[in-house]
Amino acid sequence: MDMDTRLLRCFTAVAHEGSLTRAADRLFMSRPALARQIRQLETQLGTELFTRSGAAGATLTDAGAALAAAAPAVLDAWDGALRATRGAAARADRVLRVGFVSGGAEELTRRIVAEFTRRRPGWRVRLTRAAWDDPTAGLAGGTADAALLRLPFPGQEALDIEVLLTEERWVALPAGHRLARRAEVDFAELLDEPFVAAPPEAGWWRDYWLAADERDGRPAKIGAVAHTSDAWLTAIAGGHGVSLTPEATARSCRRPDVTCRPVRGVSPGGIGVARARGTEVPQVVRDFVEACVTARDEPERPGA
């Protein structure tokens, strides 16, 4: 019997959450649509997988528990096959897929790409900006061969990372904000401000950019949620909140309705190049990482 992996992913979400409502939120689906997916899977398997309870709760049956134990390995194997297939197809076209979140390596990116194409004539780099709910910029899902990422980020312990830059965190404010004329802002002055945040699915990466560890237990006020840098800037300009931001992003901001200032009282972040861990990493990906290191360590050539 053929199985739709979408149905299996819906099942694992409900099994993990123990609730149709919470699983539907996680999957960005309506609860009725998710319930239909579960019923379709149960029909295909010829057995009930959950015992429904009040308030949209869902408890695994014995059959459901057996499937929940086996499903992650099935999905991991399928995801691995997709990653390998997509990566091989891109390399056959001499394309290296590089994901990035926000500004990537900022000004260094141009030098990295130039160094890589010098090492690999005939190849091109396809840079793809990821939404903020994917802090690995496609590495986890197999849509990128390497990624230029803000550090730290969720899942980095499973990847090989070379740190390229260390940079301070600044704050982005509406141009008319009471702190916008300051030369520098103390983070303590921002504790009661509403923040423009990444979506909850970003997990502790969202918490890092809210400086959750430096709030002495005081929860952040969320004024707006943004999935992309454009939506983030629009929310700040509209007065929905302030936001911490990397120094390079702050310096490159050209919007007259957004002001960026250095912040005291928060730890610095960084930028790194990340790739999958293992001995079977394609040589072209290793060449890209080496190009990143060379661009970091060598001064820019005049006229380059």
pLDDT tens-place string over residues 263-302: 999 998 888 999 988 767 889 999 999 999 999 998 665 5
* C-alpha to C-alpha distance for 125 and 93, rounded to whole angstroms: 11
Which whole number is the average pLDDT over 188-201?
A: 93
Tokens representing 57? 């709760």
pTM for this entry: 0.61
Examine the fold and report which residue of 54, 83, 112 is the final residue of a domain before the chain moves on.
83
Residue 45 lies in a domain: yes
- The domain of 66 spans 5-83
Residue 304 lies in a domain: no
What confidence tens digit (pLDDT) does each residue in 232-253 have?
999 999 999 999 998 888 888 8
Q: For the chain, how many structural domains are there in total?
A: 3
Residue 120 lies in a domain: yes
Q: Are residues 147 and 291 both part of a single domain?
A: yes
Residue 133 exposure: Cα atoms within 13 Å on the Cβ side: 9
On the question of pLDDT at 303 being above 60, the answer is no
Residue 108 lies in a domain: yes
Examine the fold and report which residue of 38, 54, 83 is the final residue of a domain before the chain moves on.
83
Q: Are residues 57 and 177 both part of a single domain?
A: no
> Strand 50-52 vs strand 58-60: parallel, antiparallel, or unpaired?
antiparallel
Let me know: does 100 contact 272? Beta carbons within 8 Å.
no
Peptide bond into 152 cis (omega under 30): yes
Q: Are residues 63 and 181 both part of a single domain?
A: no
Q: What is the pLDDT of residue 4?
A: 74
Residue 302 lies in a domain: no
Number of DSSP helices (H) and strands (E) in the chain, helices first: 9, 13
Let me know: does 99 contact 144? Beta carbons within 8 Å.
yes
3-state secondary structure of 136: coil
Q: Are residues 178 and 132 both part of a single domain?
A: no
Q: Are residues 52 and 76 both part of a single domain?
A: yes
* Residue 2 pLDDT class (50, 70, 90 cuts): low
Q: Are residues 154 and 281 both part of a single domain?
A: yes
Question: For residue 262, which of 152, 153, 168, 139 has the smallest C-alpha distance?
Answer: 168
Q: Are residues 113 and 242 both part of a single domain?
A: no
Which whole number is the average pLDDT over 118-131?
A: 92
* C-alpha to C-alpha distance for 28 and 55, rounded to whole angstroms: 19
Cβ–Cβ contacts within 10 Å for residue 17, how many? 18
Q: What is the pLDDT of residue 78?
A: 79
**Rounded alpha-carbon distances, angstroms, from residue 221 to 44, 179, 247, 250, 275:** 45, 18, 23, 22, 34
Let me know: does 46 contact 76? Beta carbons within 8 Å.
no
Cβ–Cβ contacts within 10 Å for residue 15, how many? 22
CATH number, domain at 48? Answer: 1.10.10.10
Q: What is the pLDDT of residue 68?
A: 93
Q: Are residues 185 and 248 both part of a single domain?
A: yes
Q: Which residues pair with 264 in a beta bridge?
A: 186
Q: Are residues 155 and 283 both part of a single domain?
A: yes
Tokens representing 54? 């009040």
Q: Are residues 105 and 175 both part of a single domain?
A: no
Residue 188 lies in a domain: yes
Which whole number is the average pLDDT over 22-42?
A: 85
Question: Helix-strand-coil percent breakdown of the chain, rounded to 5?
Answer: 40, 25, 35
CATH number, domain at 108? Answer: 3.40.190.10
DSSP letters along 41-105, please? HHHHHTS--EEE-STTBEEE-HHHHHHHHHHHHHHHHHHHHHHHHHHHHHHHTTEEEEEEETTTT
Q: What is the pLDDT of residue 300?
A: 64
Cβ–Cβ contacts within 10 Å for residue 224, how many? 18
Tokens representing 220? 């952040």
Q: Are residues 263 and 284 both part of a single domain?
A: no
What confidence tens digit (pLDDT) does each residue in 136-180 have?
888 877 889 999 988 877 778 888 999 998 889 999 999 999 999
* Residue 70 pLDDT class (50, 70, 90 cuts): very high
Q: Are residues 156 and 181 both part of a single domain?
A: no
Examine the fold and report which residue of 51, 83, 115 is the final residue of a domain before the chain moves on.
83
